[in-house]
Structure formats: structure tokens, C-alpha cells
């Protein structure tokens, strides 16, 4: 097994594993899991060199944080721990300073720690942009000044919103999801150049396009158009013909994007950890990549609306 690779996350002094542990599956977001197996997956990931763990009170409506906190008992010092605030239910958002401060304290208790390495404002396109800049991020920075948070960031889907808020709010980090993978590759259009220019770090999430680039059906709540889901099935079939897993190819493709310090992928079983680690040893065959590109071309960069109308201009 090839050793884990690490990159420095711009805007911070954090060295993070290029593969990050996305903990949303610990909250049953993709179906019920075995909690004991989830805990073993966390342990196996740490033992294998994965040091970035990302969660949110929204995932499983606090369940993912509870389970991750339990799994990290005795190993907190070995990991870079990130969670979020602002989103608490499907339509439950509160980006007020008061709620940010309370949410951080609640997350610290669930995660069984006295500090967070990263605290993000979660899915900021569902909030008022000016409130995020002038109230939410200042509250995050207050927590930073108190020593409860080391670095602050924002997450979301619309790239222009992330770029605007990160720069005007002077965030340390941006987490983008579903905007750089085999099906969507538009980070360089509106986001990455802005982050580079301003020294802001980038984390890339959802290399499997939230379950489309797997051998399983995506979750029923997936917002992608049907033709995108069909393209994902076509890519999976191509990978099978080449004797490889679509999930491994999809993750390797994202690892090749050097500005993203880490790519976060959801895990809840040891077998998933093992499969994801295989991407470290993989080189994508040029012929395979050419076939994937042809299959994806009709739907490349096909995205969906997310958040408030004014944030989808």
C-alpha cells in the first residue's frame, strides 16, 4: 500500500491527508449503517494516515457528530477535525451570531473536544449573503480569538457566492462540493483563481458526485438531472470494462487537482476506507479517461440551483 500523501492547506498551517474522511454517512445520510463498523472505519482511516475528518450537526441531525466524537476518543490529537454551523435540517438554517456561538459549543460537546481545527458556515447560499459576511464570519472569528476554533471557512454550491463571501469576509478556507469530479469540472471558472490570489485554502468534497459515481443508485434526494445520473451509470460501465471501480477512478481524478489540499469522500465501513486508499496507487489509463470524457461530454458541468434565488443569478 502506498503511503498517504499530505498537502498544506492554504490560508492555514494545517497539513492534511489528500483523502479526507467525510463523516456524513455516520449520520445515516445514505442509509442506516452499523455504528460499530462506522467506529472501526474511523480507526482504520486514522491507522492508514487519513487525518482530516469533516462532519456537521446537519448530518443525521447531530447523529454523525455524536458517532464521530465517540470514535475519536483517545485519538483527537491525531486528526484535523472540521465541523460546520448554520444548517441544522433540510430547511433549517440560522446564520445568526448567537446561533453560531451556541452551535459551536454543542458541537464541541458532541465531538468530545475543547477545540475545532476548522469551523465552516454550512451551505451559505441558503442564507443572506451580507449576514454571512458581516455577522456569521465575525462570530466564527470571535470563536477563533477565544481559542475554540483554529480556522474558519465557508461551504456551499454556487461558486460565485463562495468566491464573493470568502474574499469579502476574509475566510481562511472554502469547501466546495460537486464542482470538481468526473461530471463537473468548473472550479477554475469562478473559484480557484480567486482563492489562489487571496491565499485562501480549498477543500474539494463529493468526488463521487454524492453517490452518482458508484455502483449503487444515488439517494432519492439527489438534485442532479436524470441525464446526469444516466451518465454516471455509463461511466461506471466503462470502468467495469477496464476492470476497475468507478469510485476509485473518480477519487483519483480529484486527487490530481493539486490546488485542493484534500478531497473529502464519505465513508462508514472499513471496506470503503480500503477502496478509497487504492486511489493513491492508481494512474488513470489514458484510453479509459478518453472514453469517460466522451460519455460525460453531453452533460459536462450540468449543475442545479441551490439556495436563495438571489444566490443563483
Q: How many angstroms separate the Cα of 251 from the Cα of each of 73, 198, 202?
A: 28, 27, 16
Half-sphere exposure of 41 (CA within 13 A, CB side): 28
Burial of 167 (0-12, 13-18, 19+ CB in 10 A): middle
- Joined together, the cell numbers standing for residue 141 give 472569528
Q: Are 179 and 295 in contact (CB under 8 A)?
A: no
180 is catalytic: no
Give the whole-angstrom CA distance, residue 310 versus residue 21: 32
Q: How many angstroms separate the Cα of 277 from the Cα of each of 121, 181, 267, 298?
A: 29, 17, 11, 30
Residue whose entry in the numeric block shows the C-alpha cell 472569528: 141
Choose, from 6, 58, 59, 257, the residue flagged as catalytic: 59
Residues designated as active site: 59
Amino acid at each position: 500500500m502506498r503511503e498517504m500523501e499530505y498537502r498544506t492547506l492554504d490560508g492555514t498551517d494545517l497539513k492534511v491527508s489528500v483523502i479526507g474522511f467525510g463523516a456524513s454517512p455516520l449520520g445515516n445520510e445514505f442509509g442506516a449503517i452499523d455504528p460499530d463498523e462506522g467506529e472501526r472505519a474511523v480507526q482504520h482511516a486514522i491507522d492508514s494516515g487519513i487525518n482530516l475528518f469533516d462532519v456537521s450537526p446537519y448530518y443525521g441531525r447531530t447523529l454523525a457528530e455524536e458517532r464521530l466524537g465517540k470514535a475519536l476518543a483517545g485519538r483527537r490529537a491525531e486528526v484535523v477535525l472540521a465541523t460546520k454551523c448554520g444548517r441544522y435540517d433540510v430547511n433549517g438554517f440560522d446564520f445568526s451570531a448567537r446561533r453560531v456561538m451556541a452551535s459551536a459549543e454543542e458541537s464541541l460537546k458532541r465531538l468530545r473536544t475543547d477545540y475545532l481545527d476548522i469551523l465552516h458556515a454550512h451551505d451559505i447560499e441558503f442564507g443572506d449573503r451580507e449576514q454571512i459576511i458581516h455577522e456569521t464570519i465575525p462570530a466564527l472569528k470571535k470563536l477563533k480569538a477565544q481559542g475554540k476554533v483554529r480556522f474558519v471557512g465557508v461551504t456551499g454550491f454556487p461558486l460565485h457566492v463562495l468566491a464573493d463571501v470568502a474574499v469579502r469576509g476574509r475566510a481562511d478556507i472554502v469547501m466546495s462540493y460537486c464542482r470538481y469530479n468526473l461530471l463537473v469540472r468548473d472550479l477554475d471558472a469562478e473559484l480557484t483563481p480567486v482563492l489562489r490570489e487571496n491565499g485562501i485554502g480549498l477543500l474539494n468534497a463529493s468526488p463521487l458526485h454524492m453517490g452518482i459515481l458508484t455502483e449503487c443508485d444515488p439517494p432519492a434526494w439527489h438534485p442532479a438531472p436524470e441525464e446526469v445520473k444516466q451518465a454516471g451509470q455509463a461511466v461506471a460501465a466503462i470502468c467495469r470494462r477496464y476492470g476497475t471501480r468507478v469510485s476509485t477512478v473518480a477519487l483519483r481524478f480529484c486527487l490530481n487537482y493539486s490546488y485542493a489540499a484534500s478531497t473529502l469522500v464519505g465513508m462508514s465501513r472499513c471496506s470503503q476506507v480500503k477502496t478509497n486508499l487504492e486511489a493513491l496507487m492508481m494512474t488513470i489509463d489514458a484510453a479509459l479517461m478518453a472514453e469517460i470524457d466522451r460519455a460525460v461530454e453531453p452533460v459536462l458541468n450540468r449543475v442545479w440551483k441551490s439556495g436563495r434565488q438571489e444566490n443563483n443569478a
